[in-house]
Amino acid sequence: MLRRYPWILVDSWHVLGPRGMLQWAADYLRFSAAAMWATAARTGGTTGERLLTGIVRRFAPRSALRVQAAYAEWRAMGWL
């Protein structure tokens, strides 16, 4: 989008303001990080998922639910 319409950032700034632009940037980075982790998870396959979930469940039981939720989210989004 930036290549075709570089002024989108200026227009976005006018619409969103500084606070909105910061929120957009944070959301974009968070989404990009999730996509990166999902790519790594896809590479590991179901064996990697079971291994990771088992390790996390053993050493940090509270975090195991977050790992399972992340995998469920990635499946729902079609990333896995």
Domain count of the fold of the chain = 1
Residue 67 lies in a domain: yes
Residue 41 lies in a domain: yes
Instruction: Tell me the pLDDT band of 6, cut-offs 50, 70 and 90.
Output: confident
Residue 46 lies in a domain: yes
Residue 28 lies in a domain: yes
Helix (H, G, I), strand (E, B) or coil at 40: helix
* pLDDT more than 70, % of the chain: 100
- Cβ neighbours of residue 71 under 8 Å, at least 6 residues apart? 41, 49, 53, 80
Task: List the domain range (segments joined by +) for residue 63.
Answer: 8-76
pTM, entire model = 0.68
User: With the C-alpha atoms ordered 1, 38, 66, 77, is the resulting torsion angle positive or negative?
Assistant: positive
pLDDT of residue 74: 92
Residue 3 lies in a domain: no
